[in-house]
Structure 1
Amino acid sequence: MTQTQPETVVEQTERGRTRWGVFLAILAVPTLVVAAPIALLVAWLFTDDSVEADVKKTSCAEALAYGGAKLPTGAYDTLCVVRAGQESRYEATFRAPRDGVDDWLAATYPDAPAPRAERCATEQTDLCLSLGAGEVPGRDAVVQVEITYDGPKWSQVRFVASAG
């Protein structure tokens, strides 16, 4: 009988597959769930605040000048926009001292009727003034002014001027 030599088998030492790919895939899902709302929040913060595409912020001097007016003394908390379309429409809102608003209207539109307390756009409006085309000196604009009293010393004013 012949004895055979045991055969030595050399094992290959290749690296086997690790599970890092599975681990990273599992970590990617919560990361995306957190990152997506943060990215949406950043995009929302850096976009224009206007809802409509044709609304642009403008200077209050330009908005009021379209209707032949200037910002009254003591006005603050101003927001002025222009709505582009077939005809431009300028809107301005601001707060002003209550006793100065009447003087401002009288100085701005000396030939206009006194502001009225009835038939205004909303029930919350205390006084309103509507001027048709040709009633604003040097302008062919329609002007509407709505005044809402905000306590004993302040008024909230909404000014709208558009082409007549």
Structure 2
Amino acid sequence: MTDTQTGTPAEPTVPGRTRWGVFAAILAVPTLVVAGLIALLVAWLFTDDSVDTGERKASCAEAFAYGGAKPPAGARDLACVLEAAPEPRYEARFLLRSAEVNAWVAANYPDGPALRNVQCDGDHDGYACMNRGPVAGQSASVQLEIAYDGPKWSVVRFVAFTE
């Protein structure tokens, strides 16, 4: 067909091509980004990201017995943990009246060593410590660190471990 006025051939009419494809592509990108972020959020919420330190609560009687001692009678805030390593390592922390610390150490370790206040490792606020290697009938070494917690109380850290 030709246009009668201009004499040029007319363009054939083809059923219309819409721009919905371009519009759908433009909307698909943000939709995929949001869907990906939601998937990452769900994965993050249901992933176990806890860190196992190997420390477990332990019986304080068991912890002290491992180091050849008995829990002090007047102790407050007594907390004991077991560190599961190739060899067990027990740690106990508690408050004890400062006047009772020497008596408790002497009652549990009558053959020594005594508490000392020089050459103590660890915290700088500690005023006494004791290191005891394994003795006959025991396989554990013991470390004690004692620090002030006010005028009447001391914080005691008891560690029993196998070397």
TM-score range relative to shorter protein: 0.5 to 0.7
CA spacing shift, 1:58–1:152, aligned 2, 3 Å: same
CA spacing shift, 1:32–1:153, aligned 2, 3 Å: farther
Matches within 5 A, 1:1-164: 18=24, 21-31=28-38, 35=41, 39=44, 43-44=48-49, 46-48=50-52, 50=53, 55-59=54-58, 60-72=60-72, 73-85=74-86, 87-122=87-122, 123-134=124-135, 138-163=137-162
TM-score for both structures, normalised by structure 2: 0.66
For 2:151, give the aligned amino acid.
Answer: P
Q: How many angstroms apart in 2 are the aligned matches of 1:149 and 1:119?
A: 17
The DSSP-based 3-state class of the residue aligned with 1:158 is: strand
The DSSP-based 3-state class of the residue aligned with 1:43 is: coil
Give the drift of 1:77.
Answer: 5.0
Is the radius of gyration larger for structure 1 or structure 2? 2
TM-score for both structures, normalised by structure 1: 0.65
Give the drift of 1:115.
Answer: 0.7
1:4-63 Cα deviation digits (max 9, x unpaired): xxxxxxx7xxxx765664452132244356x27x9269734x543x1xxxx332412222
* Identical pairs, percent: 38
For 1:128, give the aligned amino acid.
Answer: C
Contact 2:63 2:80 in 1 (8 A): no
CA spacing shift, 1:56–1:29, aligned 2, 3 Å: same
Give the drift of 1:145.
Answer: 0.9
Give the stretch that moved more between structures: 24-33 or 96-105. 24-33
Alignment match, 2:10: none
Stretches of structure 2 that go unaligned for 5 or more consecutive residues are: 1-14
Q: How many angstroms apart in 1 are the aligned matches of 2:38 and 2:153?
A: 50
Stretches of structure 1 that go unaligned for 5 or more consecutive residues are: 1-10
